Structure 1
Amino acid sequence: MKKKFFFKRVAIYLGMMLLPMTLLFTAFCVLNLRTIDRDLKRQGRQTVDAVDVNFDLVLSNVLYQNDLLTSTTRMNLSLKRILSQSEMAYGDAVNIDSLLAILRSIKDSHEYVESIYLYTDGAARYFSSDKGIHTIDDSADSSWLDVYREIAKDSSSYIAPREISLGADQVIPVLSIYKRLLLQKGCIVVNIDVAKLEEILAKQISGHEETIYLVNRDGDVLAEQSVGSGGNGDRKYFARLKEQYGEGWQEYLKGMDGTWVRTQNGTCLLSVGSYDAMEVYYVSAISSKARTESIFAMLQSFLAFLVLDLCVVVFLAYLTTKRSFDQISYMISVFNEAEKGLPVAKPENSNRDEYDVIMNNIIYLFLNTNHLNAQLKENEYKREHAEMMALQLQINPHFLFNTLQTVDMEVRKQGASPEEVSTIIRCVSDILKYALSDPGEPVTVEEEIQYLKKYAAIQKFRFGDQFIIYYEVDDEVMDAAVFRLFLQPLVENSLLHGIRGSKQKGYVKVSIQKRGERLRCCVMDTGTGMTREEKAGLESRFSSDETGGIGLANLYRRLVLRYGEESALRVWSKKGMGTAVSFYIPCEKMKV
């Protein structure tokens, strides 16, 4: 019992404390979400700016030196002759050695540069920083030329992702930066190692759950680096943008700067920058998980406070429960003394608070009035019991008088056989024994039905074949305890006031069935019935002190005294069709 009230108090106190805490935490989260979004936007912008600076340095250093290299007229002429013919002069060889040395120095000074190619339009060969002159048809890497040939004539530069074969099924992903030569038709191709470029990008990411993308003008992802669980799922997002918005997709992408968008990999915050000279876009995508983690951190603080509150709640619930049960123990001890007849002293004034003062005085006043109330209830019970016994004793002679009257009428009949008289006398004898027994002793439904059948047998001698009586009683209620003669007045009323006045054979049905937690008792007949006025007059006589009859009024009073107003008689009747009288008995009051 203590545990039940303890846990109930814990639930109540926790609800009282949890509700304001939850409202406060919700308001705090709403306000803090704005701060989180503002911080994430600043984080994305910092990453994009840092990538812009570093990518500009990567391209500017390489392309600036290449511009210086290819702007030399003598060097360009030597390059053209070398790439267009197989033989070269001594001066060309010297220039080529110088060019190869310069390209290798550029590659060695920039670790992210994988190789550099020089090519003039229409030539069958190209110049490489690795081994010098290569024949295109025999070269292991020729895909760069296919990309170059597809570049628009009016485009001075272009970046494309591709792969370089290193042999033995080993390939390396690169970004090929195409830059047209200044003094002749051709191009410089600078191949940047994507892995090393992504290492540079990784150093620029300023937050967790963030991915940086380098995207060219065709929507191809040139490089990608992420921290946390973001990444590959968004690579196709930019291609879908181009497919959806066509040539204006870059402007749409720039317009998405600083907004949350839904991608294949989830919701993320975009920050967009661009390198206009190469039409390369830097896109920082911060996953919504970063915001979730911030909220989760706040939730952890909330849970910590919640655990602390729970400890306080448990402590308070324990104190109040202990105090309440101490008070209850005191009350029980006082009540026990009062039941034993011991005098109850007024509680001392050693009270801890107003609660004790109120409870102690209530107990004192209650116990002083309880004795008077108990006496009143005892007198009321005695009065009702005496009335019940009087009613029971009243119906016995009434029942016997009517029964004996039936016997007298049957004996007076001409032609009554000794066997019939003997049967009547035997039934009367059994009924006398049943009716004159202790009226306060309960009987079972089965016993009441048995003696009701004997009463009906006597009435058969009086009415002959004028009526048929049958019984519909549930087997499970046969052992239920009831008071004596609770059905006989109803059957008697049906025979005397219903069937006797009818000119045709009548039927009487006695029904006792269990309906939920109540026992429904009903006696129906197909007799003369009553009008509404007659029915109303009968019901008014039930509760009237000046009743002209004994049977139904007596039964009505006994039912109300024994089982309460909800067990009062209920009458249904229609003139010329019959009457039904029923009542209910609570199952809890039918125990022997």
Structure 2
Amino acid sequence: MNFLNKNFFRKNLIIFLIPLLIPTLLLGALSIAITQGYIKNQIAQNNTDLLNQTKSNIDLIFNEIDTLNIQFDYNSNIALTLKNVLKEETIYSPDLINTDKICFFLNSFANSKPYIYSIHIYYENENGRFYTTNNGITNLNNYFDTSWYKNYLNHPANEKLWIETRDVKQYDFEEKETKLITVYKRMALNNGVIVLNIKADYIQDLLNKSVTAPEQKIFILDENNSEIISNKTSNNINNFNINELLKSNTNVIYSTSENKFLSKTIIHSDRFSWNYISIIPEDALYYVSIRLGKYTIILLLVSFILGLILTFYLTRKNYKQISNIISIIDSAKKSQTIPVISSNTKNEFSYIIENLITTFIEQDYLKVQLSERKYKLENMELIALQSQINPHFLYNTLHTIYWEVIKATGSNSKPIRMIENLSSILDYSLTTPCGKVSLGDEIRYTKTYLDIQMIRYADKFDVLWTYNKNVEPVHTIKLLIQPLVENSIYHGIKNKDGKGKIKIKILLKNDLLTLAIIDNGIGIDTQNLKNIRDKLNFDGEYSNHIGLFNTNKRLKLTYGDNYGLLINSKLGLGTVIYIKIPIGYN
């Protein structure tokens, strides 16, 4: 019993845990797989779109240099006016008026753009003068921001556009310098340069707003792969080695400095020869998948613990009932008295126990029924063997009478034909009474029977046969048609005024044999027809009926309860008997 208890516990554990663990495991695995697959397929495109949008926004800012270049290099009036003002030692009133208009335009342009720190317009002159926003015409000797001028002088003359980062401090008391991204545009028609100073903080804020995750890092590198600007991140990825990133040709790299895997995306800006680079740690990228994995593991553990507790509880609760069932089965096998079971508990086990006891009682009852049926079958077999004695005696006696009549009369008269036909009928009936015969033999036997009846009832009825030759090989039970024809003669045609007609129709279609015996006799009234139908459905024994009821019973015993006789009749018009049975060729 201890082994059975442990085995029962293990089975219950499996039964309860599998429904709990498998759906959770499948749901978690599918969620992780689908999420990772979606992220893996979308991350490159999303990062590319993000960088392209960032590139477009930043390029739009730095392209302001083109607007300034058109105004101060290609507009000859503005260029000539400013050059004259910067070159002359004394500034005259008309020049000041024109200069004020230009200053107003330039200040308005700079002040309307929150990302512009300042704009310097410089035409080469001996006075060291240049124009700057918010300060007008200024001299290099007394202005805080002059490093741009040194960079301009030191830069190769053949390069028309370049960008660099600078730090400026307007006042000495300022603790922090202002970081600028300076765009230089060398004038094509004039000797000079346009300097556009962009606030680096503004670009950094733009990058900060562009990232999709706090851990994501966006770099902007110049043509020398030096960092121009990058966003601020929530981790220490700011210390990332850019050279590690540029050496790898894959989208996923392992950073030794960060000790983690990173996903990268790079796009190039042809205008400024910049590289826009986005990197994001894999753990941040697959945050949802990792979280789902953790939840799945937690749910699996919780499910396992709950399943273990539930299994232990149910095993302990139901083991006693299982023991009772086993005791009942063992007692029944050993033919012992079934133990008394308490009827207070009402559950599935008590239901099983009650049914077990009922089954054992019914089994004993069935044994009694089987013994009784066996006795009846043996008795019927004995009666059948005894009943064959008289027909054999009659057949032999009838055969002797036939030859004595031939000797006495010496002619083939009607009595002789009747005796000959009757002898054939008895011979057919006694040969293998329980075996099946072909429908052709059954038809010939029925025709022999009808020859006798047509001599007996001269000009009382006609018989019409309707069938194809293909039905003759079909095998069926013996004495199928003759009892039904006899029923039509004695109960339909015999008491009819005038001449009657009997039609025998046989049809074979779709492995189903249909037989119809139709007569235009006196018919059957409604009540008697109902009584006959009820008797046909009654599963009993008939001592005096070997015709209609016996044929119906033999059909049901041979082919099943779905097959038998079907009778339709109307008083004064006639009767139809239908039979449908499954067939097979010999």
TM-score (norm 2): 0.48
Structure-1-length-normalised TM-score: 0.48
Which structure's CA Rg is the greater one?
2
